[in-house]
Structures are given as C-alpha cells and as structure tokens.
C-alpha cells in the first residue's frame, strides 16, 4: 500500500509543555484520516509539522513519499493547507488571492488566472470573486481558504478544523467538497472536534489526547471497542431522575451518565430490543413517566468519553460534555 | 529557474499584493505624501528663515537634507508593514507554498520603493514651490534621486529586520525613531558638519546620512559657494554612500531572511 502521510515517534515540546508525545500516523493514498481530539490535544501542531511550518523535536515525518525535514520545498509543491484561521489577504479580492497563490505555486500567468476563476465558480464565490475578502462572511472566507489550498491540485490536503464555526449548510457543502477531492484521488488529513464529522467523512480515525494517540480505527471499530448499544431516556420530571437511575442500574452493563439539565440518562446495555421492553415495564411499575426513550449505537462522543475519561470540549454534545464529567465525579464520591 | 530569479519572481508577486492594498486603502498614500510636504514646509520656513549659512542659500541647502531625512523615515514603513504581515494568517499560506523564503521580504522592500519614489516626487514639487531649484542638468539630478532611493532601499532592509525582531507595529515605530532621529540630525542635513563640536563633528562627517545629503546637494547643484568639505566621506559622497548601501544590504538581507524563518517557525 502507498502511504501518502507517515509519521513515527513525532515529538514537539514548547518549553515544559509536550504538545506531541510520540505520535505515529499512516494515511494510505486516496483516503481520509480524521485526527480527533479536544482543544490542546496537539492536532494543529501535528498539521503544522506535516505542512513544513514547524520543525519537530524528534521523529520521522514523510509526506507524499518525501522526507518533510530534508525536502520541505518539494513537499510544499505537493500539498495544500487550509488552516483554522482563514489564510487569505483581506485587502485582495477572492480572485486576486487565488491568482496570487497560483503564481506562487509557479503555475504561470494564464494558468493561474484560469484556475482562480474555475475555483471561484466551484466554491460558489463567482459573484463575490471581485470584492475584497474583507467583505466576506466567515463561511465564504473558509471556502476561499480551501479553494486556495486546492489551486495546484495537491496530492495531499491538510484541513485543520475545516468546519469549525460554519453554519450547517456550509458544513455540509464542505463535506461534499472533501468527498469529491478524495474521489478524484487526493489524500486528506483533517482535524476535527466534531464526532459527527469524523464519523461521516473519515475512513480512519486517530483519537489523540495530550499529544498521544489513544485509539485508532474506523468509526465502527471504535464504537465496537467500547461495547454495545446505549439506551437513552428522558424523564418528564427531574424529581424522577434518581428512580430512573436505579432502574437503569439494574439493567445496565456499564456506567450511567446523567444530564440533569436535559433530564437525560444514558446507559450501556446489551440485549437489544428486549431490554427496552423490560425497561419500560420497570419504569411503569415505579410510576416514572418518560418523554423519550430509545436505543442507539454508541457515538464517537461516547468513544471519547470512555477512552479519556473526559468529553470533548466543543463536541457535538455541547454542554453535556462537562456535565458528564461532573456526574462521574459524583459517582466516584458515592 | 535559478534561486535568485525565483526569489525575484515570487517577490514581484508579493509586491503586487502590497500595491493592491494601496489601491484599496488610498488613505495610506495620502499620509505617505503628507509628511514629506510637512517636512519641507516646516524646515524650509522655520529653519530656513532663521538660520543663515554664509556662502549659500540656506533653504536650498536644507532641502537635500530634508530629502535624506524623509526617505529614512519612509523606510520605517517597511518595518511596520513586515510587523503587520507577521500577525496575519496569510503568512502561513505563504509558508506552505513552494515559493522562495525571501520573497515576502523582497516583495515588501520592493513595493516600498514605490512609496519612497512618491514621497521624493512630492518633496521635490513642494521644494520647487518654496524656492528650491535644480541648478545642474537632468542626468545629474536623476543620479541624486536614484541615490536617495537606493539608500532608502538599504534602510528598508534594516527596518524589515527590526519589524521582524519586535513584537508589534507600535514598537517598530518607537524603536526605529530611537536611531533615526540622531542619525538624521547629527549630520550635515540641516547644518554644516564642520561647524559641529569635536565628537559630533566626526560622527556627522562619517554618518552615511550626511553623505547621501551631500551627494544629493551636489547632484542638484545646491552647494552654492560653500568651502569643500574636510572629510573624505563628504568629498566622495557618492562612493561613500554606495559603500554603505553595499554593507547594509550584505548584512541585513541574510539577517532579515533568517529572522523571518525564525519568527514564522513558532
């Protein structure tokens, strides 16, 4: 198999802080690797090293078969980067930005112009193309930034939190774009805090925390790794939370998470639909009325929580993240 | 393409980007032209009316000094521009591209030549209004202007390095004023260096700003009936200026490029 990205034992320190602590990655050609982790996990540091922007303190880094440390210029010819802060010039128009990037990739005058128009069209920016990017919305700027990354049709594309701060429509557009890229043969490494995004896009997921890889696999493998289904129920009155918890404890195979705010309880179970029947009967016996009850496969949020003991900070679960940690602490006290 | 050709081609692309910014924010240019006008009027009337240098028309004598001083101040713009660039995300884009490492610096110093040219043009026009005249010929005057711009270009590289070295745009201004003021005043810009006391005289005579002012003065024919200068540096101001330009560029181009690398690899 041809690997387009390979790192071994990558270490990066900032003073006493270890940003990367021996990270190993491999990304086969034509696939999407998701680098998943909370803020400060080391995702951006890893991307900056892979894109030649930062020297690692230790370890081997290879992109498109080239040693990044020995041959940064050759690597730069073959990669595209779209970072967290849109790297476009605010005084230039969208067209001028893309044209400039084309010229700096040495595509030549004509080809740069043509490619700029082509990309503006592809990213729905043709109408705004001749306005300074200062006037663009956040979503438009991100699209332009991604377009800039694709000017030279790179073989390897790095996307650092490509959808952070985007509205749902822009986010799904971004997902389509990434999928098209890979269909056309590119290899993509993207970082994200969104479980849904990794689940939806990535062939392979590496979960990192504090600069270390803590899990690796497909979304399905990771979910299987932490066990079966989850039963989720929402009680009508918060006064019933404790009773519902007792009932769940008798059926669950793992820990129970409680979100006081949304009155939601989640428990790992095994036994499928039968369990759901038993649960409803027991709840009725205890006179606990529920708004909603259901069985679901574990999400990557669950994976993260069970692997690290803390939820993602900005993950899809929003406030439930910190809540869940609090609950676990309370349980420990008990 | 050779490395050097590549650096210039990429530098030209970056320079174009800097020039587009002027097109988008014309106010930038207005202030660039206001300060030279102010300098010429202020020095021309305040000093020009109260100081007398026997053997010369002082106001004419002083204009070349104002030119030299103003291009020095103009060069601080390079430092401010670099410092500002470094705070922008676009630098990450540049650094992930297969472009010459030095292109951002060549582009910045290159586009600042235009700023300085405009500033020299505006000063000349204002000078003509207050009584300054070119008393030589076109080619001699052209040599004077080119020398001013060449010196400004060299100082731009010093400022680029300062801009990369300090943490913010505001600091660039303050840090550079600290050495531009003494350099432009302890010189023959506004008074004859021969008239200064001991150590100041030596400093002023060998100060490259004096040489630039002297060279311009001679090129424009504004020396009147003054006695010839005593120091070699001022007797051969063109050669002396060129030596300084060479030294500054040889030191500060590599130094700035290295500092750029260092500053961006955080």
Q: What is the pLDDT of residues A91-130, one digit of tens each?
A: 999 999 999 999 999 999 999 999 999 999 999 999 999 9
More confident residue, B109 or A312: B109
CA angle A24-A26-A27, nearest 5°?
145
CA distance B91 to chain A (A): 7
**pLDDT at residue B28, as a whole number:** 81
Mean pLDDT of B202-224: 94
Rounded Cα distance between B97 and A52, Å, is 10
**pLDDT at residue A146, as a whole number:** 92
DSSP state, residue A258: E
DSSP state, residue A132: B
Give the A:B interface size as CB pairs under 8 Å.
68
Q: Write the ipTM.
A: 0.87
Mutate to test the interface with A, among B90, B106, B266 (most CBs of A within 10 A): B90
Is A88:A128 a contact under the CB 8 Å cutoff?
Answer: no
CA distance A102 to chain B (A): 10
CA distance A96 to chain B (A): 8
Q: Picking from A6-20, B52-66, B199-213, which range would have the lowest pLDDT averaged per residue? A: B52-66
Whether B25 has a pLDDT exceeding 60, the answer reads: yes
What angle do helix axes B27-42 and B3-24 make, rounded to 10 degrees? 90
Owner of token pair 């102010």: B38
Comparing CB atoms, the residue among B88, B97, B264 nearest residue A104 is B97
Is B100:B12 a contact under the CB 8 Å cutoff?
Answer: no
> Which segment, A170-174, A180-184, B191-195, is predicted with the most confidence on average?
A180-184
Mean pLDDT of A37-44: 87
Structure tokens at B254: 């590599």
Its pTM stands at 0.82
DSSP state, residue A53: S
Q: How confident is the model at residue A310 (pLDDT cuts 50, 70, 90)?
A: low
3-state SS, residue A120: helix
Q: DSSP secondary structure string, chain B?
A: --HHHHHHHHHHHHHHHHHHHHHH-THHHHHHHHHHHHHHHHIIIIIHHH---TTS-HHHHHHHHHHHHHHHHHHHHHHHHHHHHHTSTHHHHHHHSSS-TTHHHHHHHHHHHHHHHHHHHHHHHHHHHTT----S-HHHHHHHHHHHHHHHHHHHHHHHHHHHHSSSHHHHHHHHHHHHHHHHHSSTTTS-GGGS-HHHHHHHHH-HHHHHHHHHHHHHT--TTPPPPSSHHHHSHHHHHHHHHHHHHHHHHHHHHHHHHHHH--
Q: Picking from A59-68, A267-276, A312-321, B158-167, which range would have the lowest pLDDT averaged per residue? A: A312-321
């Amino acid at each position: 198999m041809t690997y387009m990205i390979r790192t071994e034992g990558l270490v990066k320190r900032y003073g006493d802080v270890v940003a990367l602590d021996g990270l190993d990655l491999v990304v086969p050609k034509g696939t999407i690797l998701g680098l998943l982790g909370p803020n400060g996990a080391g995702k951006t540091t890893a991307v900056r090293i892979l894109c030649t922007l930062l020297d690692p303190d230790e370890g081997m880094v290879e992109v498109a078969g080239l040693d990044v440390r020995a041959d940064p210029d050759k690597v730069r010819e073959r990669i595209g980067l779209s970072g967290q802060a849109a790297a476009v010039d605010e005084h230039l128009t969208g067209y001028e930005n893309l044209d400039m990037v084309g010229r700096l990739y040495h595509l030549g005058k004509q080809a740069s112009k043509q490619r700029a128009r082509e990309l503006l069209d592809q990213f729905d920016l043709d109408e705004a193309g001749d306005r300074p990017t200062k006037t663009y919305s956040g979503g438009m700027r991100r699209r332009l930034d991604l377009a800039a990354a694709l000017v030279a049709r790179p073989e390897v594309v790095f996307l650092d939190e490509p959808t952070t701060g985007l509205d749902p429509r822009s986010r799904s557009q971004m997902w389509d774009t990434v999928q098209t890229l890979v269909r056309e043969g590119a290899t993509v490494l993207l970082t994200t805090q969104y479980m849904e995004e990794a689940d939806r896009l990535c062939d392979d997921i590496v979960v990192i925390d504090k600069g270390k890889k803590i899990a690796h696999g497909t979304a399905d493998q990771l979910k299987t790794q932490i066990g079966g289904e989850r039963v989720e129920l929402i009680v009508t009155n918060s006064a019933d939370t404790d009773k519902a918890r007792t009932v769940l404890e008798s059926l669950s195979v793992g820990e129970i998470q409680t979100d006081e705010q949304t009155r939601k309880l989640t428990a790992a179970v095994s036994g499928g639909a039968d369990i759901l029947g038993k649960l409803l009967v027991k709840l009725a016996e205890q006179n606990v009325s529920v708004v909603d009850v259901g069985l679901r496969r574990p999400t990557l949020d669950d994976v993260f929580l069970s692997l690290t003991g803390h939820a993602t900070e900005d993950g899809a679960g929003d406030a439930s993240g910190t809540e869940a940690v609090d609950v676990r602490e309370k349980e420990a006290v008990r | 393409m050779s490395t050097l050709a590549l650096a210039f081609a990429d530098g030209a692309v970056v320079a174009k980007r800097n020039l587009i910014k002027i097109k988008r924010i014309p106010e930038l240019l207005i202030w660039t032209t206001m300060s030279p006008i102010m300098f010429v009027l202020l020095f021309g009337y305040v000093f020009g009316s109260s100081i007398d240098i026997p053997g010369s028309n002082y106001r004419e004598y002083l204009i070349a000094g104002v030119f030299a001083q103003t291009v020095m101040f103009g060069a601080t713009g390079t430092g401010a521009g670099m410092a500002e660039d470094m705070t922008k995300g676009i630098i990450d884009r540049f650094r992930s591209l297969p472009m010459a490492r030095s292109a951002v610096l060549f582009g910045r110093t290159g586009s600042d030549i235009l700023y300085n040219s405009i500033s020299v043009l505006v000063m000349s026009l204002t000078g003509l209004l207050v009584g300054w005249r070119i008393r030589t010929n076109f080619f001699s005057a052209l040599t004077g202007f080119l020398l001013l711009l060449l010196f400004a270009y060299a100082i731009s590289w010093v400022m680029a390095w300062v801009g990369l070295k300090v943490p913010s745009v505001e600091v660039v201004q303050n840090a550079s004023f600290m050495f531009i003021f003494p350099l432009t005043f302890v010189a023959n810009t506004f008074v004859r260096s021969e008239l200064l006391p001991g150590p100041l005289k030596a400093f002023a005579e060998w100060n490259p700003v004096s040489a630039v002012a002297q060279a311009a003065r001679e090129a424009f024919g504004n020396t009147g009936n003054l006695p010839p200068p005593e120091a070699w540096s001022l007797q051969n101001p063109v050669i002396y200026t060129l030596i300084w330009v060479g030294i500054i560029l040889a030191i500060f181009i590599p130094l700035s490029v290295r500092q750029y690398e260092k500053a961006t690899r955080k």
